[in-house]
Structure 1
Amino acid sequence: MGSVKTWLAAAALCAAAASTWASGAQDLLSTLDRAAQPAPEPSVTVRLVAQNEGLTPQAENLLAVVLEHAPGWHTYWRMPGDAGLTTQFSFTTPKDVRLTDPRFPLPERHNDKGIVSFSYGGTAVFPFEAEIPRFPEGRSARISIHVSYLACKDVCIPGEGTAEITLPYEVAPKPSADAELVSNAIVNVPEVADIRGVRAVYEEDRLKVTVPASEVHVEKSLSFYPLDERVLKLSDEPQHQTEEDGSASILMTLAPEFLQEPRATLSGVFLGDGGPAAGGWAIETSFPLEKGAVPKPAVFSGALPVAGSGASVTTLTAIVFAFLGGLILNLMPCVFPILSLKILQLIEGYRRGERLLPHGIAFTGGVLVTMGVLAGALLALRGVGMALGWGFQLQSPWVVSLLLVLFVAITINLLGVFEFTAASHLADTRVARSAPRTGAASSFFTGILAVIVASPCTAPFMGAALGYAVTQPAVEAIAVFLSLGLGMALPWLLLCIFPGWSRMLPRPGAWMDVFRKVMAIPMALAVVWLGWVLSKQVSLNGMLLMLAGCGSAAIALWLLGREQWGRGRNRVLMGVTSFLAAGAIAVIATGEFDRAATAQGRGVWQPWSEEAVRASLAEGRPVFVDFTAAWCVTCQANKVAALDRDEVQTAFRDGNVTLLMGDWTNRDPAITDILSRFGRSGVPLYLLYRPDGTVQVLPELLTPGIVLDAVKGGQQ
């Protein structure tokens, strides 16, 4: 045994050293490779163009600065956002020529993992005007421009560029080759105007800006790009809503800097219906800020809208909904393999004439304790800024791997290969067989396991209840989670409390061994499912590592079973098991297990992003979003039962619906944030955005009829 431990330690040490050497060598080669590469092409090219081939005295002369960005590169707007630097211009002109400041076109808004920026890519055109006196000096004007910018791609590089143009003075100049480019640039520049009646009220960190219907016309959407820095928390998406009088409002979140030093006014650009590029409008304006009452968004208040109804969730109703969800959770497929263990425990206890009440209390205790721990961990991690939700533990491949090995062990146990017994170290057959196989401790463990594996499932009523719970103080939140656990454990507790109900259990007999082996089937299917989930989280090498680990566990448990039943040990197989375990340690040392699997799309579904939603809505297309995860059994069932059905896909195509999928298999703060905004703590979440600005939340359990009604309802 000592030699085996020495061998394992040596294998781990060698693997770690190999990993360190390989990492250092790779860094050195990368440095040499970068040094050998030629200088990169310019990321931004500056041009100076004019609408006409000449300048006309005492007339409107339109020119423009053109920034041509290399593919993937971008520069920044007047207000760059959470990162970046403003693009700056300086001119050199004849003393009698006056130029206006270049006008910034509307930028693109990007949200990269909570870092929001306003930037330009491709071709960005900044128009300006030249004023020529009645009798200018000379026959032409030479205009030069110097541009300072920060260009970013994978890295950010400060840059500068110059350009110049010489134009003759002419009474009636001809249009230039760039006339259309300059003329079109004016369309993308926000109009500078005062919007009368704008009311901006803030309370705590909430800001509500209302634009009167008499001043602007909003059909689909209203958004706002601030020009003042450190006033708004840009990572929180503005929420547009229509008031009863037809006015348009935006709910936004104020930045911590504003709360420390409030200001009296706010400047920015209102975008109506997607902006000019989408057939809407854009107006630059400023307006005063005042303190007042601002209602909390539904996700932060004590009342949440329930999908498909006009009801609301308070603490009491959340507890009731959680209890009902826990009852229904017993019927969900992810819990069935564990409940099969509970059935066996009750039957074996009944066979031996044991009191079943301790089993019921222990099982309920295991469920409630685990629910409390899960709720506490969830709230604690959220308290330090981590965005998590229901089922968050299955986003870790390490947790999935531990469950996978555990389920392999349970499957082998149900097949009778070995027994969970404290006498496993005894080779005497009679002693091993006489050791208890069940008891209160076993029932407590089953309760723990039931909660852990239940998290991939979301039952009706659960979504709204847990979404409410994770936004509340600790006492209310834990009460909701405990109510969910009580609903889950109650059927088994009642079966143990009332002895008369035990008569419903079949009489003991030889069939029990057959039934036990039959129960190994759903457990084996759970192993296959967990393996599929893990394949979505880790690389191929990680999967090979897991197969080696499961193989080692299976062989070790088989050897344990032989020892339990007095059949001795097999030293060859023990050596094979040790070799596989050492291989697993070596692979872990290389870090292969931590490398995530490459994300893949699913047919016509495209990856979700808020930019993709806005782009489709700007084109007048409805958007259906499926927030899902590989470990979410309810999500996979809905795909088979509804979303992937031919009639549903046909309805999506006929309705010109954009299909987006948000994959929450691995932790994604952006998806967690959108779940929270819609009052959910986990997947599935199904949203149907319509071009008129409305959003429909579909139930957790889908049928083709539910989806078809939603799609057709938006076409009426």
Structure 2
Amino acid sequence: MIRSGQRSWLGWLLSLGLVWFGSVTEATAQAVPQPHVKAELIAETTAIRPGTPVWVAIRLELEEHWHTYWRNPGDSGQPTSVKWTLPPGFTADDIQWPIPKRIEVSGLVGYGYETEALHLVRITPPADLPVGKPVTLAGKVKWLVCKEECIPGEAELKLVLPVTGDVPPPSTWTEAFSRARAQLPLATSEWKLGATVEGDAVVLLLSPPTPTEELTEASFFPFEELVIEGAEPQKLTRVKGGYVLRMTRSKVAENPPTRLAGVVVTPQGWRGAGTEPGLTVDVPVEPPTAFGDALTPTAGTTASKPSGGQPLGWMGLWLTLGGAFLGGLILNLMPCVLPVLSIKVLGFVEQSRAGRGQAWQHGLVFTAGVVLSFWALAGVLLALRAGGQQLGWGFQLQEPAFVAFLVAVLFVFGLVLFGVFEVGVGLTTVGGTAMNRAGLAGSFFTGVLATVVATPCTAPFMGSALGVALAQPTAIALLIFTALAIGMAAPYLVLAAAPQLLRFVPKPGPWMESFKQFMGFLLMGSVVWLLWVLGLEVGVDGLALMLGVIVLIGLGGWIWGRWGSYTYPALTRRIALATAGIIIVGSSVWGVSAIHQLPPVASAAATQPEAKSGSIRWEPFSPARVTELRRAGKPVFVDFTAAWCLSCKANERVALETAEVRAEIERRGIVMVKADWTNRDENITRALADFGRSGVPLYVFYPPNGNEPKVLPEVLTPGIVLEAFRETS
């Protein structure tokens, strides 16, 4: 007779034995090696319980650069399939397909998996399954594995599991099953879906549960073939009803689809960050009129983006890098470079006196300063955008504290150029008989300052390159920013490599001191410009505060120059330098900190919508206002600008505020809208991103006939503006 205590021990031993036996049977389910694929059948638990479904998975481990296919393979391929051989009474459901990825090979786009494919299947045993006797689950699995070439594969997979009356323990594959389930698409969501066909486009409408819900990336994978062109880009745009994803309709299908079924994928997750990236779509295709005005685009929603942030192809990458290099090169001709023109010109003068080796060193160090500054700005921008911040190129000048810091730095530079005090050759790279380490440090700092001040504006070719960069993986984005930096530094690198180009510069003499002081006036002009920008950002109080800081910096510089020279005793010099340093650094730090605490003021476009007599009447930008004007049939011109963008201001003076352009605006009844990006504005940042841009200037003309808007070049002339008005009207 077995007592109760003995029963518990026997039960425990029996359970332990089942676990051990289950692990043994799992071990007998060996992977089957095939060309470029290792296939095996795995289970989520170590045993089967009668009547309780058990999850198994067909696991395909793939060699690097090889892939298998999703349920719809795309332009070519074959989906993985299984034919089960199960014990009597067992039933198997269909394969559960994790979300695929786009795989481009030789111009064709397939939908599939790389590295590992885990296809989940639910198998249900009969309720009267005898306990204690193991069962064998078997299936003949077929797949197609491809790289450049494709190889069909198949394997007979088996898995032996014991049968227990208790809850079966988990297997060693539990975590893998959890990962696979996270990649299964949601069956339902709070997002509302709809579909229509507009001409050659299949349109998927995605309405968020709340108006503030953001969607920046999405891509669609249809369940059926011959629905869309897989190789064509998919365009995500913002509309009144939420978002639409436009895809090119299949050119082979005889008729448009009557129902749209598939999976729409976003890395943001459909229930918030870190949640399921896939959402099942199964909706009827309705006429566009069924959605009313929900498909009406908001401002700036026509630019293509790489679907789902897909990397560029090799040809696209080289074209983008070439455009980035040209954009950086042309940036040297933009008005934004003027703030540091004096320092660069003085550097050229110094190179004319140096040997070839020294000039080459300075060119490399200057280039390093430019490249590292581009990397730093790009890294901060990409990190903040990844954290959800709506930022674009030139974001540093949207921060009043940073503008105040630049004012202080450039004012100190100006005092040095005027000769108020000397800090050695390191700061300006001028003076002395040799270009020593301090001079190299000055060249590096010149490159840093040139980048920081010159990059807020975008030159031709640069805007589109920046837009592409911010939609790419980090490595590709940094490569594009590097091309921009090298383009900007190229002229100075060439002059450093060939100093004979500067042989026409007069020989050193007293003229150099006068020239240096003249360059100081250009730098002080930059200080005035930055003070104006600061006043627009924080108002007259912040401007007055910074002017007080400048006075203190001037006092510190005067003390430095008056008692810091070598004509005074060492103790006097030390006291003077310490006092000057405390005043200059202390007042600068205090001023920047105080300005950082000031609230921003409204933009000029918002506070002064009425224009003065003889100039353009501007309206402040808002996506809703642009949509309202377009629906009313009005022609609309949107100027994306900022006070710190000198290119923008130059375009306004040279092209927009001319008599002939103003007359054409009045004659055609064009509504002029100003998107003032001087201070940070998320609506403007999103609108720029919708056009594939990340900085200003950007000029967009919406014609009155409802056609696609026209994007104008970054550098305007009256002729360019007038031609855009006439072509699209």
Report the TM range for the smaller structure's normalisation.
Answer: 0.5 to 0.7
- What is the CA–CA distance in structure 1 between the aligned matches of 2:500 and 2:349, rounded to whole Å? 14
> SS of 2:523's equivalent?
helix
Q: Do the aligned residues in 1 keep the contact of 2:325 with 2:486 (CA within 8 Å)?
A: yes
- What is the CA–CA distance in structure 2 between the aligned matches of 1:642 and 1:248, rounded to whole Å? 48
- What is the CA–CA distance in structure 2 between the aligned matches of 1:376 and 1:227, rounded to whole Å? 31
- What is the CA–CA distance in structure 1 between the aligned matches of 2:305 and 2:466, rounded to whole Å? 19
> Structure 1 residues 264, 512: CA separation in 2 closer, same or farther (over 3 Å shift)?
closer
- What is the CA–CA distance in structure 1 between the aligned matches of 2:466 and 2:294, rounded to whole Å? 40
- What is the CA–CA distance in structure 1 between the aligned matches of 2:337 and 2:544, rounded to whole Å? 27
Asked whether 1:211 is paired with 2:205, we answer no
The residue number in structure 1 matching 2:323 is 321
The residue number in structure 1 matching 2:670 is 657
For 1:273-672, list aligned pairs within 5 A: 275=292, 300=309, 314-351=316-353, 355-421=358-424, 439-566=439-566, 593-601=597-605, 603=611, 604-672=617-685
The residue number in structure 2 matching 1:686 is 699
> Structure 1 residues 592, 357: CA separation in 2 closer, same or farther (over 3 Å shift)?
closer
> SS of 1:458's equivalent?
coil
Quote how far apart the aligned CAs of 1:330 are.
1.6
- What is the CA–CA distance in structure 2 between the aligned matches of 1:707 and 1:274, rounded to whole Å? 35
> Structure 1 residues 262, 343: CA separation in 2 closer, same or farther (over 3 Å shift)?
closer
Quote how far apart the aligned CAs of 1:598 are.
3.1
Quote how far apart the aligned CAs of 1:349 are.
4.9
> Structure 1 residues 265, 554: CA separation in 2 closer, same or farther (over 3 Å shift)?
same
> SS of 1:504's equivalent?
coil
Q: Do the aligned residues in 1 keep the contact of 2:411 with 2:527 (CA within 8 Å)?
A: yes
The residue number in structure 1 matching 2:687 is 674
> Structure 1 residues 233, 618: CA separation in 2 closer, same or farther (over 3 Å shift)?
same
Indicate the percent of aligned positions where both proteins have the same amino acid. Answer: 36
> Structure 1 residues 525, 494: CA separation in 2 closer, same or farther (over 3 Å shift)?
same
- What is the CA–CA distance in structure 2 between the aligned matches of 1:643 and 1:672, rounded to whole Å? 23
TM-score (norm 2): 0.57
The residue number in structure 2 matching 1:706 is 720
Q: Do the aligned residues in 2 keep the contact of 1:211 with 1:247 (CA within 8 Å)?
A: no
- What is the CA–CA distance in structure 1 between the aligned matches of 2:191 and 2:508, rounded to whole Å? 65
Quote how far apart the aligned CAs of 1:272 are.
4.8
CA deviations over 1:403-448 (Å, ceiling 9, x no partner): 1111111111111111222999xxxxxx999997961111111111
> SS of 2:538's equivalent?
coil
Q: Do the aligned residues in 1 keep the contact of 2:321 with 2:483 (CA within 8 Å)?
A: yes
Q: Do the aligned residues in 2 keep the contact of 1:414 with 1:519 (CA within 8 Å)?
A: yes
- What is the CA–CA distance in structure 2 between the aligned matches of 1:247 and 1:692, rounded to whole Å? 25
The two structures, once aligned, show a CA RMSD in angstroms of: 4.8
- Larger deviation, residues 508-517 vs 626-635: 508-517
- What is the CA–CA distance in structure 1 between the aligned matches of 2:698 and 2:326, rounded to whole Å? 19
Q: Do the aligned residues in 2 keep the contact of 1:423 with 1:432 (CA within 8 Å)?
A: no
> SS of 1:565's equivalent?
coil
- What is the CA–CA distance in structure 1 between the aligned matches of 2:523 and 2:361, rounded to whole Å? 25
> Structure 1 residues 458, 296: CA separation in 2 closer, same or farther (over 3 Å shift)?
closer
The residue number in structure 1 matching 2:74 is none
> SS of 1:367's equivalent?
helix
**Aligned AA (1:516):** K
Q: Do the aligned residues in 2 keep the contact of 1:688 with 1:696 (CA within 8 Å)?
A: yes
Quote how far apart the aligned CAs of 1:576 are.
12
- What is the CA–CA distance in structure 2 between the aligned matches of 1:652 and 1:417, rounded to whole Å? 51
- What is the CA–CA distance in structure 1 between the aligned matches of 2:359 and 2:670, rounded to whole Å? 55
- What is the CA–CA distance in structure 2 between the aligned matches of 1:634 and 1:714, rounded to whole Å? 25
Quote how far apart the aligned CAs of 1:379 are.
1.4
- What is the CA–CA distance in structure 2 between the aligned matches of 1:645 and 1:384, rounded to whole Å? 42
CA deviations over 1:386-412 (Å, ceiling 9, x no partner): 122211111111111111111111111
The residue number in structure 1 matching 2:234 is none
**Aligned AA (1:558):** W
> Structure 1 residues 252, 599: CA separation in 2 closer, same or farther (over 3 Å shift)?
farther
Quote how far apart the aligned CAs of 1:262 are.
4.0
> SS of 2:665's equivalent?
helix
> Structure 1 residues 514, 378: CA separation in 2 closer, same or farther (over 3 Å shift)?
same
CA deviations over 1:51-78 (Å, ceiling 9, x no partner): xxxxxxxxxxxxxxxxxxxxxxxxxxxx
The residue number in structure 1 matching 2:270 is 256
CA deviations over 1:261-306 (Å, ceiling 9, x no partner): 845656999875995899x9xxxxxxxxxxxxxx9657945579xx
- What is the CA–CA distance in structure 2 between the aligned matches of 1:348 and 1:432, rounded to whole Å? 10
CA deviations over 1:67-117 (Å, ceiling 9, x no partner): xxxxxxxxxxxxxxxxxxxxxxxxxxxxxxxxxxxxxxxxxxxxxxxxxxx
Q: Do the aligned residues in 2 keep the contact of 1:548 with 1:580 (CA within 8 Å)?
A: no
For 1:139-154, list aligned pairs within 5 A: none
- What is the CA–CA distance in structure 2 between the aligned matches of 1:226 and 1:575, rounded to whole Å? 63
Q: Do the aligned residues in 2 keep the contact of 1:607 with 1:660 (CA within 8 Å)?
A: yes
Q: Do the aligned residues in 2 keep the contact of 1:326 with 1:486 (CA within 8 Å)?
A: yes
CA deviations over 1:197-220 (Å, ceiling 9, x no partner): xxxxx9x99999653579xxx9xx
> Structure 1 residues 240, 640: CA separation in 2 closer, same or farther (over 3 Å shift)?
farther
- What is the CA–CA distance in structure 1 between the aligned matches of 2:485 and 2:377, rounded to whole Å? 11
Q: Do the aligned residues in 1 keep the contact of 2:311 with 2:473 (CA within 8 Å)?
A: no
For 1:35-46, list aligned pairs within 5 A: none
For 1:66-81, list aligned pairs within 5 A: none
- What is the CA–CA distance in structure 2 between the aligned matches of 1:714 and 1:321, rounded to whole Å? 27
- What is the CA–CA distance in structure 2 between the aligned matches of 1:382 and 1:677, rounded to whole Å? 15
Q: Do the aligned residues in 2 keep the contact of 1:313 with 1:465 (CA within 8 Å)?
A: no
- What is the CA–CA distance in structure 1 between the aligned matches of 2:636 and 2:477, rounded to whole Å? 33
Q: Do the aligned residues in 2 keep the contact of 1:313 with 1:468 (CA within 8 Å)?
A: no
- What is the CA–CA distance in structure 1 between the aligned matches of 2:580 and 2:439, rounded to whole Å? 34
The residue number in structure 2 matching 1:99 is none
Q: Do the aligned residues in 1 keep the contact of 2:702 with 2:710 (CA within 8 Å)?
A: yes
CA deviations over 1:360-396 (Å, ceiling 9, x no partner): 1111111111112122112111121112221111111
The residue number in structure 2 matching 1:72 is none
Structure 2 gap ranges (5+): 1-186, 217-236, 297-303, 612-616
The residue number in structure 2 matching 1:287 is none
- Larger deviation, residues 599-608 vs 616-625: 599-608
**Aligned AA (1:455):** T
CA deviations over 1:308-348 (Å, ceiling 9, x no partner): xxxx9821111111111121112222223423213323423
Quote how far apart the aligned CAs of 1:692 are.
1.4
> Structure 1 residues 494, 380: CA separation in 2 closer, same or farther (over 3 Å shift)?
same
Q: Do the aligned residues in 2 keep the contact of 1:549 with 1:584 (CA within 8 Å)?
A: yes
Q: Do the aligned residues in 2 keep the contact of 1:227 with 1:269 (CA within 8 Å)?
A: no
TM-score (norm 1): 0.58
Structure 1 gap ranges (5+): 1-201, 281-294, 305-311, 425-430
Q: Do the aligned residues in 1 keep the contact of 2:536 with 2:601 (CA within 8 Å)?
A: yes
For 1:232-243, list aligned pairs within 5 A: 237=238, 238-239=243-244
> SS of 2:640's equivalent?
strand
Q: How many residues align?
A: 482
